[in-house]
Amino acid sequence: MSKTHCRLIALVLSVALLGLMILAPDALAKKPRKNKRKATEDYVYRAPTITLNASPTVLTACAGQSAHVQLDARASFPSGANPRYHWSANGGRIEGSGATTDWDLSGLKPGYYKASLEVDNGLTDECLAFSSAMVLLKCTPPTCPNIMVSCPEKVEINQPLTFCVSAAGGSPGVKPVYEWTVTAGKIVSGEGTNCITVDTTGLAGQSVRATLNMPGYNDLNCSATCIVQIPNELPKCRKFDEYSKITRNDEKARLDNYGIELQNDPTSTAYVVVYPGRTGKPGEVQQRSARVVDYLANSRGIDKQRIIVVVSSARDELMVELWVCPQGAKPPKSVGMP
């Protein structure tokens, strides 16, 4: 039975009842008092019942985000027949045809949307039932969290670097994702986590920029960067010459070359390392050391403050090593210096 038919029945019933009310007094006046039979019979119309709930009625979702509403309906007919549910909506997709169904509003623009329900019992002797539910879809623009990348406090040559990130705030409900990139070196551990370790072998004197990007906030660039400068590798001392027991003239020739090398770099330091001979004469080491320093200072013009004499461990015979150490270089470990 259609909705129009239900309205016609109600209208006919109303007109009929009104007519009976008008005619009833005359009819009663004409009939003998002893005839008390009722002229009309009461008719009670019972309409079907329906309830509809939507949850939630207000939801927040922007483009690309999921938005779902649960529709829950209950309907009953006076005859006890099983209701049939017919859903429709002015936006989104309603999945299913039962009393409880899902209304998918994902991808829609912000605004009000209406879901409509028509219920029948598959028969023709009872009216249809109608209901509807309205929901509001809102969009809150995403915001990046507050991201801070921390650099290591201590930076050493050829030592690994550790970068960590802390993030707070931002749009709720976004699962943190960590995407790291570095401009130099190689990430050796921690990829995909909040801390990474970077191998810096061979990067002395270079800088390493670590950048973290956190996707998931639509098209926003949620990232942070930290830069570390790796110090230059320290210059190293080099052994220029060595000799044992040689003639005085031969030693002067070697010291001449050594002096020239020191003059080429006025900031360098001369290390004269003397290894005593196990069978050497007393005072031999002091004599040889003084002779070398005297020649470099008086014959080659080298400042005595630049010449350091080191007496090292004994060998089979007396040995002299001549070292050149650029400014900032650590003394060679082979000479027994720290």
> Predicted confidence band at 33 (pLDDT cuts at 50, 70, 90)?
low
260 token code pair: 């020239």
Average pLDDT, the chain: 85
pLDDT score at 249: 95
pLDDT over 90 (residue 190): yes
Question: Which comes out higher in pLDDT, residue 298 or 20?
Answer: 298
pLDDT score at 308: 94
54 vs 132: CA distance, rounded Å: 9
What pLDDT, in 10s, does the model give residues 223-258?
Answer: 999 999 999 988 899 999 999 989 999 999 999 999
The domain 238-335 is classified under which CATH number: 2.40.37.10, 3.40.800.10, 3.30.1330.60, 1.10.10.10? 3.30.1330.60
pLDDT over 60 (residue 17): no
For the chain, percent of residues with pLDDT exceeding 90: 64
Chain region(s) in the chain for CATH 2.60.40.10: 3-21+44-138
pLDDT score at 146: 95
pLDDT score at 140: 81
SS3 state at 332: coil
pLDDT score at 150: 95
pLDDT score at 20: 45
- Give long-range contacts, CB 8 A cutoff, 24+ apart: 238-244: 238/323, 238/324, 239/321, 239/322, 239/323, 239/332, 240/322, 240/323, 240/324, 241/321, 241/322, 242/319, 242/320, 242/321, 242/322, 243/319, 243/320, 244/317, 244/318, 244/319, 244/320
- Report which DSSP code applies to 306: G
pLDDT over 50 (residue 29): no
| Mean pLDDT (whole number) for 177-187 | 96
Is-above-0.75 flag for pTM? Answer: no
- φ/ψ bin of 216: left (φ > 0), alpha (ψ from -120 to 50), beta (otherwise): left
pLDDT score at 42: 63
Domain spanning 3-21+44-138 has what CATH number? Answer: 2.60.40.10
pLDDT over 60 (residue 24): no
What pLDDT, in 10s, does the model give residues 255-280?
Answer: 999 999 999 999 999 999 999 999 88
pLDDT over 70 (residue 142): yes
pLDDT over 50 (residue 289): yes
pLDDT score at 7: 45
The residues that bridge with 166 in the sheet, in sequence order, are 148
pLDDT score at 44: 64
> Predicted confidence band at 51 (pLDDT cuts at 50, 70, 90)?
very high
Out of 36-45, 50-59, 235-244, 293-302, pick the least confident. Answer: 36-45
| Mean pLDDT (whole number) for 169-190 | 93
What pLDDT, in 10s, does the model give residues 148-161?
Answer: 999 999 999 999 99
| Mean pLDDT (whole number) for 72-82 | 88
> Predicted confidence band at 79 (pLDDT cuts at 50, 70, 90)?
confident
pLDDT score at 326: 94
pLDDT score at 105: 94
173-182 core/surface letters (b: 16 or more CB in 10 A; e: else): ebeeebebeb
pLDDT over 90 (residue 88): yes
pLDDT over 70 (residue 124): no
134 vs 301: CA distance, rounded Å: 99
| Mean pLDDT (whole number) for 10-31 | 46
| Mean pLDDT (whole number) for 25-50 | 59
How is domain 146-229 classified at the architecture level of CATH? Answer: Sandwich (2.60)
| Mean pLDDT (whole number) for 48-52 | 90
